[in-house]
Amino acid sequence: MGLVAWASENQRRMKILSAAMLLTALSLPAIAAEPAPLMTVLIKGGPVVQGKGDVDVSLTVPDVNVTAGAPLLSFGAFTPGQSQPQAVVDMTVTDADGPVTLIAGGPKDGTWTASRAVRGKMVVRYRLPVVNAPPISGGPPTNLRIDGDGFSGEGGTIVMQPAVSQPYRVALHWDLADMGAGAEGVSSYGDGDFELPPGSVKRLGDIVFMAGHLHREPEKGAAAFSAVWLDGAPFDPHPAMRWTGQLHSWMSNWFHDKTEPPYRVFLRYNPMNAGGGAAMLHSFIATYGPGVTGDSLKVILGHEMNHTWTDVGLDKWYAEGIAVYSQALLPWRAHLLTTDEYLADLNQTASRYYTNPLKSYPEDQVDDHFWQDTRIRTLPYDRGAMYFAVLNGKIAKASGGKRSVDDLVQAMIDRKSAGEPITDDVWIGMLRKEIGPEGPAIHQSMMTGGLMLPDSDGFGPCFHRIQKRIRKFELGFDPHSLVTPERIIQGLMPDSEAAKAGVRNGDKVTYGVALDAVQGDVHRTFTLHVTRDGQTFPITYLPRGEEVDAYQWERVPGVPDSKCRF
């Protein structure tokens, strides 16, 4: 810092005093900043017998200061779509003053308060009995469950969140001795125990944990990409996971990473919506079940991996829209899917969107009914994908082919990396800069339920748009019948395929079925297990109604594959 002129003797003395204080400070040994307190977590797995097991968890949290009656602990006990919340038993809490009496919230609430103030070192112990209760409707595949002889789940369904706001270092340890020799614990943070630098304790809620006798691809090593699963997959996951590793490496380069970041796939069984997935912190859950193969997982693997880079904090229309738009496009560009495979995925998305009876449903109302109606749940995915295709065509034409929607997506990723604000207005401003007033107008139309229809050549020179008559998705009864706790068929349409197959008003559905994949495949039948007059039996039918006008794309004759990958 440079010298300044002093206007008075008093100022001169102050300068001398400040200099003396600086010299004194420099002569003293440096005082290191006190490290952030360390929260420790111990996950202890018990033996798995006939699909049941226990997970014991212990948390030690220093420097707690929570007033009486304030929230103390929270837990993801209830996962949407599950028939019952995750049970928590044998729970004890102590602090510097001894045992703490807890006041629990409702059975689906997953919160606890303390009857008195809690201070100092808090120790929390509890047990999670793991039982694979059947789900009743679609929901994220993140609940704590057992596969083979091990367990897995989202961190928020295993580790409680203490009500502390200051940064903590976090150390997690596994004790799997009771699960048998060779059992391992892994997470989104890697293999075995780990310690995290100072940060929010909520970090553990956004990762995946898996423990047991694991299968891997590749074998243990330094590869950035890895996949793990327990026994139960109906196919050999190794080829599909090797394919995913190749795609991850390609996408890392596509999104301008200097080095390939670590990434892990967790494969789990999903009885409700097999073939789906859930994006987590630098990892994702991919699910299998009847009818799922390694090849059929490729598109969802591409979809979920997109989230690693493209999720920037905007709502589902952006996060899921760009993921669906890119889920087959990027593997196709990487020569990991054929042109026909890319076209098949594009047309499945188009079919589901353009035959959707609720395709004009406003985007700002989607969240309120997201898990109640598959026709609403799929809109941010399908309409969002077509929205990005519309934008891509407009940007390409406005720039003479020099720019595309890829440039805008990368700009959003760069903003996130730089810590710059990301809002809807920022995105709309980018659109206005690229294509003028038409950009905000297209966005507003999408948000209010307007039809998103790309140009005929909107997916490159290899394809052109055609119009077809396709039967719309129609359950044949009120869709809410499948998401209520009672699951009683109501509102049966007399002339529907459901009625023709034998479904009746008043039938009780004894097993829930997710409909996202069924809605997307015009040839896929649907099986309800119903109970009527004390008898339970299956009813299978094609959930389709009348034919409606829809759009598809087909190959342009004579255009070689080498010209296709736009």
535-541 vs 526-532, strand pairing mode: antiparallel
Asked if 469 and 550 touch (Cβ cutoff 8 Å), the reply is yes
pLDDT (0 to 100) of residue 78? 82
Q: What number is the average pLDDT over the span 46-65?
A: 95
Question: Using one digit for the tens of pLDDT, what is the confidence trace for 130-176?
Answer: 998 877 766 788 999 999 999 999 999 999 999 999 999 999 999 99
pLDDT (0 to 100) of residue 524? 87
Asked if 378 and 356 touch (Cβ cutoff 8 Å), the reply is yes
Q: How far apart are CA 214 and CA 169, in angstroms?
A: 28
pLDDT (0 to 100) of residue 33? 63
Instruction: Tell me how far apart the terminal alpha carbons of the chain are, to the nearest angstrom.
Output: 56
Tokens of 509: 């559905």
Question: Is the per-residue pLDDT at 289 higher than 60?
Answer: yes
Distances in Å between the alpha carbon of 10 and those of 13, 16, 21, 22? Answer: 5, 10, 17, 19
Q: What number is the average pLDDT over the span 125-132?
A: 95
Quote the longest CA-to-CA distance of the chain: 102
pLDDT grade for 82, boundaries at 50, 70 and 90: confident
Nearest CA to 149 among 266, 217, 53, 227? 53
Please identify which residue in the block is written with the tokens 């789990």: 268
* Alpha carbon of residue 564 to chain centroid: 31
Q: How far apart are CA 401 and CA 419, in angstroms?
A: 30
Residues of the chain with CATH 2.30.42.10: 475-542
CATH match of 475-542 with 1.10.630.10: no
Q: What number is the average pLDDT over the span 112-126?
A: 96
pLDDT grade for 18, boundaries at 50, 70 and 90: very low
* Alpha carbon of residue 495 to chain centroid: 38
Residues of the chain with CATH 1.10.390.10: 214-310
pLDDT (0 to 100) of residue 106? 63
> Bigger pLDDT: 81 or 168?
168
SS3 344: helix
CATH class of 214-310: mainly alpha
Q: How far apart are CA 207 and CA 201, in angstroms?
A: 12
Nearest CA to 516 among 272, 269, 267, 234? 272
Q: How far apart are CA 239 and CA 187, in angstroms?
A: 22
The predicted model scores a pTM of 0.84
Question: Using one digit for the tens of pLDDT, what is the confidence trace for 59-79?
Answer: 999 999 999 999 999 998 888
Asked if 385 and 526 touch (Cβ cutoff 8 Å), the reply is no
Mean pLDDT taken over the chain = 89
pLDDT grade for 14, boundaries at 50, 70 and 90: very low
Cβ burial of 454 (10 Å; 0-12, 13-18, 19+) is: buried
pLDDT (0 to 100) of residue 134? 77
**Which one of 3.30.365.10, 2.60.40.3650, 3.40.1710.10, 1.10.3210.10 gives the CATH number of domain 37-213?**
2.60.40.3650
> Bigger pLDDT: 80 or 438?
438
Question: Is the per-residue pLDDT at 540 higher than 70?
Answer: yes
* Alpha carbon of residue 449 to chain centroid: 24
Question: Using one digit for the tens of pLDDT, what is the confidence trace for 400-455?
Answer: 999 999 999 999 999 999 999 999 999 999 999 999 999 999 999 999 999 999 99
pLDDT (0 to 100) of residue 311? 92
Question: Using one digit for the tens of pLDDT, what is the confidence trace for 203-244?
Answer: 999 999 999 999 999 987 767 899 999 998 999 999 999 999
Contacts by residues 23-29 (CB-CB < 8 Å, ≥ 24 positions apart): none
Residues of the chain with CATH 2.60.40.3650: 37-213
pLDDT grade for 290, boundaries at 50, 70 and 90: confident
